[in-house]
Structure 1
Amino acid sequence: MGRLGRRRRQRAGARELHRTARRRLVAARGCPGHPDRGRSILPNRTPHAAAQPAAVSGVARHGGRPAAVKRSAPSPMNPRNIPLASLALALLFAIGAHADTVHLRDGEKLVGRLVTEAPDTIIFESRTLGRVEIPRARIERLERELPAAPAFQPPVALQAWAAGPTHFDWIQLKSGEWLKGEIKSLQDERLEFNSEELDLLSFDWDKIAVLRSGQLFSVRLEQLKPVDGLVVVTSNEVQIVATTTTNVFPRSELLGLAPTGNREVDKWTGKISVGFSYRAGNTRETDLSVFTSIQRRTPDTRLSLDYSGNYSRVNGTEVEQNHRLDGQFDYFLSRRLFLRVPDVEYYRDPLQNLDHRLTLGAGVGYDFIKTPRTEWNVTVTPAWQRNWFNSVETGQRTVADSAALVLSSRFETELTQRLDYILEYRGQLSRQATGNDTHYARTALEFEIHKRLKLDLSLEWNRISQPQTEASGDTPSPDDFRLVTALGVDL
């Protein structure tokens, strides 16, 4: 208790010293002839407070202007306290003077540290975006410390509520930085934002302090149908401004955002990865692997189309050829529960005596983990399956049908800022005529080389438990493995 008591007294003394120093600084600035007379020592208001939109369509906001700062009357300084006051003032001025600020010509503001300067560009390390290279032609001014000028206000965002939809959206990061551009989507706790100066960016939703749209959005809220309007998101609420009303909801109920209107391209994302190798000499070998993923997202739906294909040829003989195409449409019933209708898979692997395989089903899925860094969902789907075989033994049919149960899972996590890990699995349980059961698994590491360029290392496993015996009496091996290194491009 003695040590805790001393610490409490020390902290109380430090707080009293801090308050005394501030009072004396105010008194000194009130004296005639002081260079800072009349200047407030309080920090500037944040853009959040300065940029609150006016009332719209009859909706009034409560509250008023903050009370004016009262200045103390001038009082003489006690010489005995001058050393302590000087130390406190030095600490006060040191706080907040450690950051540089870049104001761009379009109104965006970055806060962080200036790393290097060149005649045409600067390298700036933003608190949130990391290191970025900025041409000097785009810079309005560069401040070496936190600005003492009036707080930054995004002008277009303030005009949007009176003039209707405009071209730009604004977001404020929790670091205090403002970005101007276009909101692409908010889905699965990730905000895709196309900055006018910094190109396409992706943020964890918990890193966003304020959002103001300059265009109409379709807003998906928990337990409600999508609502359209201009959007303001603050630290604790979501305001949706329609033609005649403004609706306010808790921020915790916001599930997704998507632009409305004819901008269909904004709802689509994609990626393509290609791996290729060629060897000549005593052995001539060619390998080609292609993986493509396309998604269309709205606040309450998700369409996914995936394709993977592998081809290999050694000394003129084809040793591998398989193709897999998956398609799913998910409709979200709540934040985590979704209905999958339909669930379609097409698969072809002639070397496993499988000319075609088609699976159709509908089921239900659940997101067990859904955070900005990690996602894991599981889906169960009753289905129907049909197989077409290349060749069969005498008396066997070349086509086989079966009821099936499909179990699929996808796990994705962000290991580091540039490295992602993905694990996918799809299992189909069916009767013996269609192979009894089949399995497909893919595990991958994706390393971000550039904003849109990635290096992928993946391992794939295909298994048909009981492959169909060919007319020659040969039975294909049930398992296929493949390790692929590929370059991927985000579309």
Structure 2
Amino acid sequence: MLNLTRRFARHATLPLVAMIFFLSAIHLFADDKPQPDVIIFTNGDQLSGKFVQAIGDTVSFHSDIVGDITVEWSKIKELHTAQKIAVIEKSVQIKHHQIPASVPIGTISVANEQITVQPTTNATIAPIPIKNAQYVVDQATLNKQLVGHPGFFQAWNGSATAGLTLVQATQNQYSFNGGVALMRVVPTVSWLDPRNRTTIDYLQSYGKITEPSYIDANGNFVPSTFTKSSIFHADAERDEYVSPRFYFLGQVAFDHNYSQNLDLQQIYGGGIGYTVIKTPKQELDVKATVQYERQAFFNTVTNENQNLIGSTFGGYYTLHLPKSILFTQQVQYIPAWNNTRAYSVSETDALVFPAYKDFGFQIGTLDTYLNNVPLAFPPTKRNSFQFTAGVTYTIKSAY
């Protein structure tokens, strides 16, 4: 009986030890789980989740139950965070992508319109009035935005648009228009000065009208005919900021316009830019470049291909209208210095209306004037106007 008891104790020891380790591991991982931040509203309601940021009078908070919310400081009675938060006062300027030593970092408690920071060093920091806090953001996000570099497919924002028209009657007609506009600004948050900006744009329209062959009233055979339209524009630009508003830039651009006999226009250049207006509702940039330009034409009487040295003088404007409507406009004047006749002017306008989630509706125009159109038959018009409409999808990649 004694031997049986000893064998039972020996065999029971291993499962018992395993159970102890298992329970210890559960306890360990439970302790490692981050504690939630807590927000208490003035009406007494309480919400647990994660404090995201506070910019001016607006606080952003995420909860797994209600999702992302935005609320004003005036509606918050208390706020307590478990994560480390940086409080940047209005008098503080962040330069050279470094956090100033005067910026307090630690867990925060908000009450009586005062922000109390509790740093890990246990140093005593005087409470900061909410009205003096310009930006309140977690330390991890601040470090990532100051010194981080997004991956190739990260931090892009923009839209993709497509429209289609089909007609079947005496004449058959179809047309397609589409475009993609992407922009990435680093840092990706509006409360830090930009280091660099990359933009990519592509716009194309293609249409064709065909009329089938037939026998006329005199019994003569009339062959089928068609009329084609084809326009596309593509460009990319990289801006490197040397101040919050002034930057150097490099650009490439490609244009094709069948109606102007322009086979391909290529532009490679560099220059400077300046942000004249920058507010939450609107922004205006002006730019000037020096560039090499190559123009190749087709269906011409004489060889009109050109190698040009010129410039681009342009402006880019964005305006956020009520109900999340977005208006964008780009105007460019492109002269050539070694051939004063070879200049062009273009204007692009777009108006985007939100519809459902990331989908919306866009209307736009593209007006181009090419002064040095080649001699051709039938004669080629210098001006080309295009109106487009289509469904647009908002592109947002995380960082």
TM-score w.r.t. structure 2 length? 0.64
Report the counterpart of residue 174 of structure 1 in structure 2.
57
Kept in 1: contact 2:266–2:293 (CA 8 A): yes
How far has the Cα of 1:430 moved from its partner?
1.3
- In 2, the alpha carbon distance for the partners of 1:464 and 1:362 equals 22
Kept in 2: contact 1:377–1:411 (CA 8 A): yes
Kept in 1: contact 2:327–2:350 (CA 8 A): yes
- In 1, the alpha carbon distance for the partners of 2:82 and 2:247 equals 28
More deviation, 260-269/461-470? 260-269
Kept in 2: contact 1:212–1:231 (CA 8 A): no
Report the counterpart of residue 381 of structure 1 in structure 2.
289
Report the counterpart of residue 347 of structure 1 in structure 2.
255
Report the counterpart of residue 210 of structure 2 in structure 1.
315
Report the counterpart of residue 184 of structure 2 in structure 1.
296
Q: 1:262 to 1:406 in 2, by over 3 A?
A: closer
Tell me, what secondary structure is at the counterpart of 2:323? Answer: coil
Amino acid at match of 1:489: Y
Deviations 1:240-285 (A, max 9, x none): x999x9xxxx97799x966466863442222101111111112211
Within 5 A, what are the aligned runs for 1:464-475? Answer: 464-470=370-376, 473-475=377-379
Tell me, what secondary structure is at the counterpart of 2:390? Answer: strand
Does residue 240 of structure 2 align to residue 331 of structure 1? yes
Within 5 A, what are the aligned runs for 1:158-197? Answer: 169-171=52-54, 174=57, 178-180=60-62, 197=66
- In 1, the alpha carbon distance for the partners of 2:262 and 2:186 equals 36
Kept in 2: contact 1:211–1:231 (CA 8 A): no
Report the counterpart of residue 226 of structure 1 in structure 2.
97
Report the counterpart of residue 366 of structure 1 in structure 2.
274
Kept in 2: contact 1:353–1:468 (CA 8 A): yes
Report the counterpart of residue 166 of structure 1 in structure 2.
none
Amino acid at match of 1:444: A
Kept in 2: contact 1:401–1:434 (CA 8 A): no
Kept in 1: contact 2:288–2:313 (CA 8 A): yes
Deviations 1:67-122 (A, max 9, x none): xxxxxxxxxxxxxxxxxxxxxxxxxxxxxxxxxxxxxxx878697xxxxxxxxxxx
- In 2, the alpha carbon distance for the partners of 1:356 and 1:390 equals 9
Q: 1:436 to 1:356 in 2, by over 3 A?
A: same
How far has the Cα of 1:346 moved from its partner?
0.8
Tell me, what secondary structure is at the counterpart of 2:95? Answer: coil
- In 1, the alpha carbon distance for the partners of 2:251 and 2:200 equals 10
Deviations 1:184-216 (A, max 9, x none): xxxxxxxxxxx98546x9x89999x99989699
Tell me, what secondary structure is at the counterpart of 2:353? Answer: strand
Q: 1:261 to 1:409 in 2, by over 3 A?
A: closer
Amino acid at match of 2:361: L
Q: 1:422 to 1:429 in 2, by over 3 A?
A: same
Kept in 1: contact 2:38–2:80 (CA 8 A): no
Correspondent of 2:169 among 272, 281, 294? 281
- In 2, the alpha carbon distance for the partners of 1:324 and 1:224 equals 38
- In 2, the alpha carbon distance for the partners of 1:467 and 1:407 equals 21
- In 1, the alpha carbon distance for the partners of 2:40 and 2:164 equals 41
How far has the Cα of 1:451 moved from its partner?
3.3
Larger RCO of the pair (alpha carbons < 8 Å, separation 6+): 2
Tell me, what secondary structure is at the counterpart of 2:259? Answer: helix
Deviations 1:274-314 (A, max 9, x none): 11111111221111111211122212111000000011111
- In 2, the alpha carbon distance for the partners of 1:270 and 1:303 equals 12
Report the counterpart of residue 16 of structure 2 in structure 1.
none
Amino acid at match of 1:328: E
Gaps of 5+ in 1: 1-105, 112-145, 158-168, 182-194
* Residues matched between the structures, number: 312
- In 2, the alpha carbon distance for the partners of 1:232 and 1:337 equals 36
Q: 1:173 to 1:376 in 2, by over 3 A?
A: closer
How far has the Cα of 1:351 moved from its partner?
3.0
Q: 1:364 to 1:252 in 2, by over 3 A?
A: farther
Does residue 353 of structure 2 align to residue 439 of structure 1? no
Report the counterpart of residue 201 of structure 2 in structure 1.
306
- In 2, the alpha carbon distance for the partners of 1:476 and 1:381 equals 29
Within 5 A, what are the aligned runs for 1:70-149? Answer: 146-148=42-44
Kept in 2: contact 1:401–1:433 (CA 8 A): no
Correspondent of 2:387 among 483, 486, 489? 483
Amino acid at match of 1:410: Y
Identity across aligned pairs (percent)? 14
Q: 1:442 to 1:380 in 2, by over 3 A?
A: same
- In 1, the alpha carbon distance for the partners of 2:253 and 2:174 equals 27
Kept in 2: contact 1:236–1:252 (CA 8 A): no
Correspondent of 1:424 among 326, 330, 334? 330
More deviation, 277-286/315-324? 315-324
- In 2, the alpha carbon distance for the partners of 1:269 and 1:213 equals 31
Kept in 1: contact 2:362–2:389 (CA 8 A): yes
How far has the Cα of 1:432 moved from its partner?
7.7
How far has the Cα of 1:408 moved from its partner?
1.4
- In 1, the alpha carbon distance for the partners of 2:73 and 2:309 equals 44
How far has the Cα of 1:373 moved from its partner?
0.6
Report the counterpart of residue 159 of structure 2 in structure 1.
271
How far has the Cα of 1:420 moved from its partner?
2.1
Amino acid at match of 2:231: N
Kept in 2: contact 1:444–1:457 (CA 8 A): yes
